[in-house]
Structure 1
């Protein structure tokens, strides 16, 4: 099922909005995930779908990918209003630090940002990302058991509270210029976690396991972004 580009993989047009990209991804994962549909599922195909979504769901990487395709800028912006609003909240080192500090001042800014932003956000993300596997394992014992479902719903509520704390902390202070890459990875990781939690929260409402699989796939992407953020911090520290 090889395709010439990521848009064909997700079965969407190059001018698709970010909301359309997300909707197409969710539909394809539910349709082709081997755990959900043993007869039609294809793990290699899911890998291609994930790779396409990972590029196109990130506004910056999508723009770079569009340039590589040589398609040029579309007449109508493909990015939805929601995405534009999110983009305006992204880390922007140049606007936040027009007069770059140097030497000791720069080191102090990095240390403050690390202590007051990165470390608490990182703890919240670790708490969410590292707990899902155990929750899914416990739920799998009997997905229709009321007690297990109540526990899973409580877990989702807790995760959303932890995520809200991470979002608030992340917006509390602009990142130093040298931490721009790490901040960008954190931003996209937070968004992926939010989308994944939304998917997981649907399961107790209709017992459709496809929501669990889509949520797990989104958490997998979030894990990768989280690791990239950590690597970026380690490269500077």
Structure 2
């Protein structure tokens, strides 16, 4: 499976014309096909080339693909902006009128515990779903089950977001809340990446989604470790 995008596979510019894409495709197929060149034959490369041309060779699917590339770049910029502003947000978050210990206990009970359960389920369930999908990533039934899994996770994720925003964190838990916030963001972005795979079978989205879940899991472990001193 490919790590590079379709334009890189066909060795053409994103601004290439349809004629240039077709010409590049024919040249690469001839180069790697065993019937035309035994020395450079590469079955896996032929598969990648065909998959890339299936998308870029049609003007409409190419437009859709270009839009996905654009969205991925925008999401990366958005994640960087959220990371830069998150700490400032939590430094400004304060709650008054209650004893500090009571604030901590309330936040842990009403926010941390419910969000923890949801995050644990989503983070721990992905590997099994990927393993099942790996049996045949192009099987309609498996793809439908994967899509249903993602839809269910999205609903749970929305509930976790709502719960997280329902109560300001105590000042003493600002760092813990920030890590929980980062973990939630990584899960949300990871779900968005994973959702692209059933649309175009490009496993880069699976790899990116899994990496975001890995980061979210690490942050989640740090949250749990920091909470131990309060429980």
**TM-score, normalized by length of structure 1?**
0.61
C-alpha contact (below 8 Å) 1:175/1:183 kept by paired residues = yes
The whole-number CA distance in structure 2 between the counterparts of 1:80 and 1:157 is 23
Kept in 2: contact 1:90–1:184 (CA 8 A): no
What is the CA distance between 1:89 and its match in structure 2?
A: 9.2
Contact 2:180 2:220 in 1 (8 A): yes
Q: Does 1:139 align with 2:133?
A: yes
Distance 2:201 2:78 in 1: 31
- Do 1:182 and 1:229's aligned partners in 2 also have CA atoms closer than 8 Å? yes
Aligned counterparts of 1:159 and 1:139: Cα–Cα separation in 2: 16
1:130-186 alpha-carbon deviations (Å, 9 max, x no partner): 000000000001111111100000000011111100000000000011111110000
Q: How many aligned residue pairs are there?
A: 161
User: Which of 77, 81, 84 matches 1:83?
Assistant: 81
Deviation at 1:235, TM superposition (A): 2.9
Label 1:81 to 1:153 Cα distance change in 2 as closer, same or farther (>3 A). closer
When structure 1 is superposed on structure 2, of 227-236 and 144-153 the one drifting more is 227-236
Which of 120, 125, 147 is the equivalent residue of 1:126?
120
Structure 1 residue aligned with 2:90: 92
Contact between 1:139 and 1:149, CA under 8 Å: does it hold in 2? Answer: yes
2:163 aligns with 169
Report the secondary structure of 1:92's partner residue.
helix
- TM-score w.r.t. structure 2 length? 0.62
Structure 2: any 5+ residue segments left out of the alignment? 6-43, 46-76
Greater share of residues in helix? 2
Q: Secondary structure at the match of 1:174?
A: coil
Alpha-carbon displacement from aligned partner over 1:23-56 (angstroms, at most 9, x marks no partner) = xxxxxx9439xxxxx99xxxxxxxxxxxxxxxxx
- Give the whole-Å Cα distance in 2 for the aligned partners of 1:193 and 1:30: 22
Alignment of 1:71-220 (within 5 A): 83=81, 87=85, 92-97=90-95, 105-220=99-214
Rg: which structure is higher? 2
Could you tell me how far 1:114 is from its partner in structure 2? 0.9
